[in-house]
Chains A and B, each alone.
Chain A
Amino acid sequence: MNLKLIDYGLSSLWRRFWKRFTVILIFSLLVFLLVSIFSIATSLRQELGITLDALPELIVQKMSGGRQTVIPAERAYEIATIPGVSAAIPRVWGYYYFGSANVNFTIIGQDPDLDSYKAKYSKLFELNAPLIDTLTRPFFLAGQGVVDIMDEYYFKDEFFFITSKGEILNLVLAGTFVDESSLETNDVIIMPEILARELFDIYEDDATDIVVRVPNPAEIEIVKQKIQFLYPDCRIIGKDQIDTSYQNIFDYKSGLFLALLIPAFMAFFTMIYDKASGLSLEEKREIGIMKAVGWRVEDVLFLKLLESGFVSLFSFFNGVAFSFFFVYILNAPLLRNLFIGAGNLKPAFQLIPVIDIHILSLSFMAIVPVYILATIIPAWKTAIIDADEVMR
């Protein structure tokens, strides 16, 4: 390879930098969009991965007429006797709709004296123990997002829940919590189980569902079958099923976005083609002189394609750098709503930085071949210009 040729290519590119400016700008913008979308999706998936790790291996729900209903809590004892199960814990939880702000809180009932299915929740009670006075005042703990919303409606230290029976349940806000993955805890309220039962009108013998811990991954499938055999009316959801459906959703969304970008790629292709075809008189004369001093068609072609190689690399890195800034420093305003919905309570989390070769290769494969192919024909047209044609 001829180093002089590369040097010449770079300098000629530099001389006409402003002429290429629009191309570089649009190219970078497309790369920016692609990398941002893929990064947000990967980052969210990572975040959900953290949530998933804490999740129990199996969740048992009782079904009635295709709908989920409360499950008898005693079934947990039966399930716990299945070999391979380390724990089966009935849960009481649900969603509470707060009409004024049009949001749903996730309410989790947890007995402060018992170990939770999530070690984190038990710890929360310990942390806030000094503030909690179980005997005199009923209380609850809330995630940061919930506290913010309540603040907006002037509920400072207490909140009035309306139970299923229509009665008012006045609880004291005893503490808040944050987490590494705020997606998980932002909308969560934790209260003593007995209060949650009162709120949702769930009798003492019932539970919302039963979570089952199976430490050995190889045994999960068998345990699942055994539970299904024991309770044919139950639906059993595995952790891996949830994982796959998350993956599907994010892949589907970024795929859809990419599909919508295809017309933009076509427009980009046309623009590049047009831009590269229109040579100025000066450029034509330059090619003519090169031809006259002995450049062959191959040489000019190589030079032109070298130029587009430089342009695409430059724009690609430009776009990637800007997109990382946008996603991880500015936290991807607007674009992230595409993935999580613009609900009132869901946002307000920091995206976890993931720099993934996969994202880069996806974006690279999506756009760079489009650009290079679009420049081939114009480059050839330039290269076959005859010396005498332009010098005359």
Chain B
Amino acid sequence: MSILLSPEIIIIFIEDVLLLGFNSLAVFLAYGIQQRFDLNQTTALQYRLERQTYLVSTIIRFSLFIKIFSFAFFIFTLDKLSNFIPGAMCGVGVTNASPYGLYVLLIKLFSIYLYGFWLLIDREDQKTENYNYTVKKFRYFIAIYLFFLIELSLQYLYLSDINPEEIVSCCGTVFNAANTSFTGQLLKIPNGIVLPSFYAIFVLLIWTSLRRDVIWTGILNLFFLAFGLLAMISFFSTYIYELPSHQCPFCLLQSDYFYVGYLIYALLLSGTFFGVAALFLKLFYGIQLKVLKLSILFNLAFVILVSAYPLFYYIRNGVWL
């Protein structure tokens, strides 16, 4: 039996069909707008195009909201599917049930970033009186749409590729340093390197943000994201589970740990999002965004939250894991 008939998957498909329909309409309008938009004209056509921009913007805005919710829902679904798939005990097993799994997750995340950037450009555009970025933002949306199509196809391939009869590995095997896979190799980097780098990048990040150095902050944010995830898996997660051998980025999304993972990842992703967004908008559109404060706020909350786990563990037990 395929998993395609479980209610979660059906809902994901309903959402995708709706988004596909509306985004296709949006991209159709966006194409026309970026082709013929000319503020100097006073024709009926120009007037119509100006009014269409509102529709496209609204559709994209709602798509982003739905995408954020459905990303969380997707992760949640993976976690739930682990009940059916033999061997899987959390989302890791389900992700690895098909070679597409990891890419679907990454591409979904990336896609939210892209939609988010669009929204920020849109905000800036609405602040200007004469539609400075309108043509540019709709061109950018066409690129996002193509990306969205890839995302949908990959997701479909992934979901139809999962075979509930096939045994998969659980997180204990995948995130084991003895494993020769890429993830296993990454964990061979000792905590003595990962942790100091993680905190060092964070300190640098604060410094560059205070100096309002958008370029370096953006680049450092990318590193912070990578090292944040690495440190999560190899160090912080063990303290959340209070088990030195349990290194897993997915189990903390389960009810046993009060779904704390959703909060942790939301903080990390929002923090790095704003940092990278400032870089992206400056490089490609010359827009100076004032979001570095937000970025620092979220990143700081992330660092405090994940650091609290080992600290409290040490205070309670008097030893490190």
Contact = CB atoms under 8 A, between A and B. Distances in A.
B54 A365 contact: no
Contact of A251 (B6, B62, B69, B86): B6
A247 B58 contact: no
Interface string B1-42: 100011111110011001000100000000000000000000
A252 B66 CA distance: 25
B152 interface: no
A121 interface: no
Which of B15, B22, B54 is packed against the most chain A CB atoms within 10 Å? Answer: B54
Nearest to B9: A255
B58 A380 contact: yes
20 contacts: A244-B86, A248-B1, A248-B84, A251-B7, A251-B84, A252-B5, A255-B7, A298-B126, A301-B54, A358-B76, A362-B7, A365-B11, A366-B11, A369-B18, A369-B66, A370-B14, A376-B22, A376-B55, A376-B59, A384-B51
Which of B10, B62, B66 is packed against the most chain A CB atoms within 10 Å? Answer: B10
Interface residues of A, number: 32
Contacts of B54: 297-298, 301, 380, 383-384
A194 to B, nearest CB: 41
A297 B51 contact: yes
A258 B11 CA distance: 8
Contacts of B22: 373, 376
Contacts of B169: none
B146 to A, nearest CB: 21
Given A255-B5, A362-B8, A366-B14, A244 B83 contact: yes
A297 B164 CA distance: 50
Contacts of B14: 262, 265, 366, 370
Contacts of B98: none
A93 interface: no
Which of A365, A372, A373 is packed against the most chain B CB atoms within 10 Å? Answer: A365
Nearest to A254: B7
Interface string A253-266: 01110110010010
A361 interface: yes
A211 to B, nearest CB: 23
B98 to A, nearest CB: 19
B10 A373 contact: no
B15 A365 contact: yes
B166 to A, nearest CB: 14
Contacts of A265: 14
A247 B82 CA distance: 11
Interface residues of B, number: 29
Contacts of B70: 365
B199 interface: no
A377 interface: yes
B55 to A, nearest CB: 4
B73 interface: yes
Interface in B76-93: 76, 80, 83-84, 86
Contacts of B58: 301, 305, 376, 379-380
Interface of A: 38, 244, 247-248, 251-252, 254-256, 258-259, 262, 265, 297-298, 301, 305, 358, 361-362, 365-366, 369-370, 372-373, 376-377, 379-380, 383-384
Given A258-B10, A362-B11, A244 B55 contact: no
A298 B59 CA distance: 13
Contacts of B59: 376
B7 A244 contact: no
A262 B6 CA distance: 14
A290 B59 CA distance: 23
Contacts of A244: 83-84, 86
Contacts of A365: 11, 15, 69-70, 73
Contact of A256 (B5, B15, B83): B5
A380 B84 contact: no
Interface string B150-181: 00000000000000100000000000000000
B76 A255 contact: no
Interface in B119-138: 126
A298 B126 CA distance: 10
Contacts of B66: 369, 373
A349 to B, nearest CB: 23
B126 A370 contact: no
Which of A251, A262, A361, A372 is packed against the most chain B CB atoms within 10 Å? Answer: A251
B70 to A, nearest CB: 7
Contacts of B69: 365
A383 B10 CA distance: 34
A369 B164 CA distance: 29
A382 to B, nearest CB: 11
B62 A376 contact: yes
B29 to A, nearest CB: 11
Nearest to B4: A255
A55 B9 CA distance: 31
B10 to A, nearest CB: 5
Nearest to B164: A248
Contacts of B164: 248
A333 to B, nearest CB: 22
B66 to A, nearest CB: 5
Contacts of B1: 248, 252
A373 B6 CA distance: 24
A363 to B, nearest CB: 9
Contacts of A361: 73, 76
Contacts of B10: 255, 258-259, 262
Contacts of A370: 14, 18
| Pairs of residues from A and B, 9 with the lowest C-beta to C-beta distance, nearest first | A255-B5, A380-B55, A251-B6, A384-B51, A255-B7, A366-B11, A258-B7, A258-B10, A255-B6
A297 B52 CA distance: 11
A255 B11 CA distance: 9
Given A247-B83, A256-B5, A377-B55, 14 more contacts: A251-B84, A252-B5, A254-B7, A255-B10, A258-B10, A301-B58, A361-B76, A362-B7, A365-B15, A365-B69, A370-B18, A376-B58, A380-B54, A384-B54
Contacts of A380: 54-55, 58
A13 B6 CA distance: 37
B68 to A, nearest CB: 12
A150 to B, nearest CB: 39
A321 B126 CA distance: 41
B59 to A, nearest CB: 6
